Amino acid sequence: MANKYILVVDDDPDLVETVAMMLESKGCEVGRAYDGIEGEESIKERRPDLIILDIMMPRKDGYVLCSELKADEKTSDIPIVLLTAVGEAVPTTRYTHADGMSTEADDYIPKPIDTEGLWEVVSGLL
Amino acid sequence: MASQTRLGAFKILKEVVWISLNQSKRDHVFSTEFCHLMAREKINLPFLTCMNEDSVWGLNAAVDSHNAQTVFNLIDNSFGKINYSTAKSAILSVFPHKSNPEVIGDLLEVFGKEGIKPMTLANSPSAISVVLREDLINKASAALFDPFAFSAYRTPSDWKAAQKGKEKLYKEVVASYQEKRPKVYALEWQDQQDLLHIKLNSPDLGKMGAAFKDFAKMGLLLTFLISGLSQEMRKTDLLFCLPQSKKLNYADMIRGLLPEDITVDVSNVAYFSMNGPHFGDRYGIVRDLLNAFVSANIELSALSCSIASITGTLPAEQIHSAIQAIQGCFEVPSVIKKT
């Protein structure tokens, strides 16, 4: 997975570092953004190969950013993995996961993040 | 301009009140009792440091300003005559530091140069948080653009434009989590650490910047960091962890850079860090942790809660008991030993 650039967007900088360290240990290059707007700006500056996106964030949440990216033909093909915290629901749009939850994202990962589970999802989408 | 250190971003939490409490006598459960009171009244602690000198605790906390009077009353009613200092404050956090001592070195140097005195500071696994008097926060945020370059904003104006609407949501998010058995996203620990406890004149804190930059040049990683007002008048306690070294004498290195009247104590410790949904500030989390440690006879030497993490140091031989105690009261999917 060398040369793959993954953008992690979460308003918890401690969690961003945890995820970044997991991905960097697998040889990926990792970009970091700390809310939806920063994520959007970062994507304009450099197109990532995959985006890991938190849902509850200030200014622009993960659902809105995900919808916008999937509606834009320049970014619609970038795989997006949503991070979901305790008790958060994933709203129904296009994508349906095995347990019935749906989102426009390509997959989702519940927190706490399991290293192998994260890598299984990410490597499957790259 | 000297070369800048590249960071991701910084954030400021305004409208908090800083409280510094110093015990005058030994009471090994003082910190636990303070956190119990805060949890009982459902008061979040957006920032907390505790340092233990022979069971005499020094605490620095920040609470939302609308809770301040309640907290003062609780302290007066529960601890009797105890000296505490307070000030209207804000918490400035820069990230990610990647355990590089150069970041705190730069920060202390620029604040020293600008005459900005941190009341207390602490690091989390990603961020360094500094509690500053409210009227200094604009000066401090502008000063950051001297030693640091931020990928998210190039100038102080860019940063200001990016802040609209952030704090309200931050507080709402905290209130939305109340699971029965809190989940820890990441529990990490590391042994073979030296905890350095430095007592220095408060205005000399900026001079420690050079020491941290020297540590950075040697490739050392900074795993734990807190500071706060000392029991001794006009002194500051600074505690931090570096890897144990047979070759380097950290105390001598620091004494070479600072005036002679500082004291430096070094002890062998392990540190742990637990990250979870708003673990750095939600009421009840640190109370549960400290209760578990008291029950397991863990002798915590220092602790900090900031951003979304709780980080602490304890005697190295107690780390496995401490991990067990954490697993006993939180859901911990994995434990990572860092090397």
Q: Which two tokens stand for residue B269?
A: 């410790």
Dihedral sign, CA of B324, B326, B327, B333?
negative
Distance CA B279, CA B308 (A): 5
Residue B293 lies in a domain: no
In tens digits, chain B (339 residues) has pLDDT values of 568 998 988 988 899 999 999 877 777 788 999 999 999 998 989 999 999 987 788 999 999 999 999 999 999 999 887 888 999 999 999 999 999 999 999 999 999 999 999 999 999 999 999 999 999 999 999 999 999 998 777 888 877 777 665 555 445 544 445 566 788 888 999 999 999 999 998 888 999 999 999 999 999 999 999 999 888 878 899 999 999 988 888 988 898 888 777 889 999 999 999 988 777 677 888 999 999 999 999 999 999 998 889 999 999 999 999 999 999 999 888 888 988
Q: Please check whether residue B126 lies inside any domain of the structure.
A: yes
pLDDT at A94: 43
Please tell me whether residues B209 and B315 are part of one structural domain: yes
The answer to whether residue B151 sits within a structural domain is: yes
Q: Give the pLDDT confidence score for residue B128 in this predicted structure.
A: 97
B159 and B237 belong to one structural domain: no
B64 and B149 together in one domain: yes
Query: B33 with B82: CB under 8 angstroms?
Result: no
CA distance A57 to chain B (A): 8
Residue B161 lies in a domain: yes
Closest CA to B196 of B266, B148, B140: B266
What CATH number does residue B333 fall under?
3.30.2130.10
Is-cis flag, bond preceding A79, omega within 30? no
From B126, B151, B176, the end of a domain falls on B176
Give the end of a domain, one of B148, B176, B204: B176
B165 vs A contacts (CB less than 8 Å) = 58-59
Say yes or no: B49 and B131 in one domain.
Answer: yes
- Mean residue pLDDT of chain A comes to 82
Residue B292 DSSP symbol: H
Do B210 and B271 fall within a single domain?
Answer: yes
Number of domains in chain B: 2
Q: Do the chains contact at B185 and A111, CB–CB below 8 Å?
A: yes
Q: B49 with B98, same domain?
A: yes
What confidence tens digit (pLDDT) does each residue in B44-58 have? 899 999 999 877 889
CA B210, B48, B265, B221 torsion-angle sign: negative
Tokens 């015990």 sit on residue? B23
Q: Are B170 and B190 in a shared domain?
A: no
Q: Give the mean pLDDT of A2-10.
A: 91
Q: Which of B176, B199, B234 is the last residue of a domain?
A: B176
B137 contacts B12 by C-beta, under 8 angstroms = yes
- pLDDT for res A97: 45
Distance from CA of A59 to the nearest CA of B (A): 7
CA distance B172 to B51: 30
Domain boundaries along the sequence of chain A: 5-122
How many angstroms separate the CA of residue A96 from the nearest CA in chain B?
Answer: 25
Q: Do B22 and B162 lie in a common domain?
A: yes
Q: Looking at residue B1, what is its pLDDT?
A: 53
Contact: B307, A42; criterion CB under 8 Å: no
pLDDT in tens, A60-117: 888 889 989 998 999 999 999 988 764 444 444 444 444 444 567 888 887 777 777 8
Strands B148-150 and B5-7: parallel
pLDDT at position A99, please?
43
Q: Specify if B64 maps to a domain.
A: yes
**Cβ-Cβ contacts under 8 Å for B307 (sequence gap 6 or more):** A12, A13, A14, B93, B95, B124, B126, B127, B129, B280
Alpha carbons B165 and B154: distance in angstroms, whole number: 20
- In terms of Cα–Cα distance, which of B291, B315, B292 is closest to B302? B315
Q: What is the ipTM of this complex?
A: 0.77
Give the pLDDT confidence score for residue A105 in this predicted structure. Answer: 85
In a domain, B110, yes or no: yes
Q: For domain A5-122, give the fold.
A: Rossmann fold (3.40.50)
Greatest Cα-to-Cα distance within chain A, rounded to the nearest angstrom? 35
**Helix or strand run (H / E) with residue A45:** helix A36-45
Asked if residue B265 belongs to a domain, the reply is: yes
Residue B154: the pLDDT is: 80
Domain with B263 in it: 186-276+308-337
**B299 is a domain residue:** no
Residues B33 and B159 in one domain: yes
Q: Which of A12, A34, A113 to mutate to test the interface with B (most CBs of B within 10 A)?
A: A12
Numbered residues of chain B with Cβ closer than 8 Å to any chain A Cβ = 8-9, 11, 93, 95-96, 98, 124-127, 151-152, 162, 164-166, 169-170, 173, 176-177, 179, 183-186, 275-277, 280, 307-309, 331, 333-334
Could you give the dihedral angle defined by the CA atoms of residues B19, B22, B23 and B24, in that order, rounded to the nearest 10 degrees? -140
Q: Specify whether B241 is located in the same domain as B171.
A: no
Contact B5, B145 (CB under 8 A): no
